[in-house]
Structure 1
Amino acid sequence: MMNELLHLDTELFLKINVGLSNGFFDWFMPIIRNMYVWIPLYIFIVVFCIKKYKKTGVYIVGMLLLTFALGDLSSSRLIKPNVQRLRPCNNPELSSQMIKRVTCGTGYSFPSSHATNHFAIAVFLICVFYRQWKAILPIGLIWAAMICLAQIYVGVHYPIDIITGTLLGTSIGLLTYYIYCKIKPAT
């Protein structure tokens, strides 16, 4: 059963990594998965929250930091070192079948920290702002999903890494929203 699941995971990885190959994705996907590209967005969120919501905004930013910390801690520091799954780009069995589009890195693959962190942040922000701004739901989910797809496309994660990171991140986003609701100041 486990071997069949891993085989299916590899097949789906190759369908995305090789099968979706095109010039636009070859240019676009490495950019959107680069964490530095999103720094202006993160700065905007911090400034927006504090400027518009004052004290509550400070709590939102604090909870965003906690959300990121929990996502990164759980995926990078707890799960990856214990599972030790090779990234597809470091898997010698795949080297002749796949396309490496970015530097692979030495870390492990399962779960995807990009997926965990971006879904945690997206879900938390969706929960906080959905009542005032319904468009945040599709925008937040599409943003996080694009980054996740890019991780597979460039060759650094398998689909199961992404799915697990998405579920973990969603859980963390919901948890930190619950905590936020308990501690936020009355408005």
Structure 2
Amino acid sequence: MLEWLLEWDRNTFVYLNALGIEQYDVFWSTVTKITTWIPLFIFFGVLIFRNFSNRQALFVILTVLIMVLFVTTLTDLTKEAVARLRPNNDEGLNTVIRILRSPTGYSFFSGHSSSSFSITTIVFLFLRKHIKWVGLFYIWPLLFALSRIYVGVHFPVDLIVGALVGIFSAWLFYRLYHILIVPYLRLNRLE
């Protein structure tokens, strides 16, 4: 089964990567950069501070930052343990695919996917009762993750597993916030 999955992964990557059109290279190269999304992160922060008290908002932001550190560490450790070559570094692939980026690290699982889905999911969980349209934020991780196929640096399974890790991590840290932080905030409000 693993061989079948890896073959599907490879074939799907080659197919999707080949759909790239040169006129869109600048767009996808911009989408794949983390710095492009800094205004969105600022917007997330503004929404959190608008919908929670300053004290709660600080704890929410701190929870998000600790979660990002956790997800990044987990991603890096997994990449080193699995040591799967990126498509752009795979000699059997790099001559038949479009490559717009050339990172040298390992591929499994995608840090872009895990971090973007974790941030979006935890922001969604915190804001879903306050903002009806918060689900639209999922456009970001979808574009961000798909850009990794377009630029030639991640297989679909890297992105899918990264997204699942990110979503689960967000749920976990959201639960931890409610178990550890909410009682603390209530206790201090009574004093």
C-alpha distance in structure 2 between counterparts of 1:134 and 1:33, whole Å: 27
Calculate the TM-score normalised by the size of structure 1.
0.92
Q: Paired residue for 1:22?
A: 21
Q: Which amino acid in structure 1 is aligned with residue 128 of structure 2? A: Y
Residue in structure 1 matched with residue 70 of structure 2 by the alignment? 70
Larger Rg belongs to: 2
* 1:52 to partner: Cα distance: 5.1
Of 108, 115, 118, which aligns to 1:117? Answer: 115
| TM-score, normalised via structure 2 length | 0.90
Q: Output the CA distance in 2 between the equivalents of 1:172 and 1:29.
A: 27
Deviations 1:43-64 (A, max 9, x none): 3333443465311110111011
* Partner Cα separation in structure 2 for residue 27 and residue 37 of structure 1: 12
Within 2, Cα distance between the matches of 1:59 and 1:28?
35
Find the partner of 1:145 among 142, 148, 151: 142
What secondary structure does 1:100 align onto? coil
Deviation at 1:22, TM superposition (A): 1.6
Structure 1 runs not aligned, ≥5 long: none
Count of paired positions: 183
Q: Could you tell me how far apart the structure 1 residues matched to 2:133 and 2:50 are?
A: 21
Cα distance 1:124–1:100, how it changes in 2: closer, same or farther (>3 A)? same
**Overall identity of the aligned pairs, in %:** 30
Alpha-carbon RMSD across the aligned residues, in angstroms, is: 1.5
SS in 1 for 2:13: helix
- Which residue of 1 is the match for residue 61 of structure 2? 61
Q: Which of structure 1's runs of 4+ aligned residues deviate more than 3 A? A: none
User: What corresponds to 1:12 in structure 2?
Assistant: 12
Structure 2 Cα separation of the partners of residues 45 and 129 of structure 1: 10
2:127 — aligned with what?
129
The equivalent residue for 1:92 is 91
Shift of 1:129: 0.4
Specify the code of the residue in structure 2 equivalent to 1:165: G
Q: Secondary structure at the match of 1:92?
A: coil
CA contact (8 A) 2:51 2:130 kept: no
5 Å matches for 1:15-54?
15-18=15-18, 20-50=19-49, 53=52, 54=54
Question: 1:180 deviation in Å?
Answer: 1.5
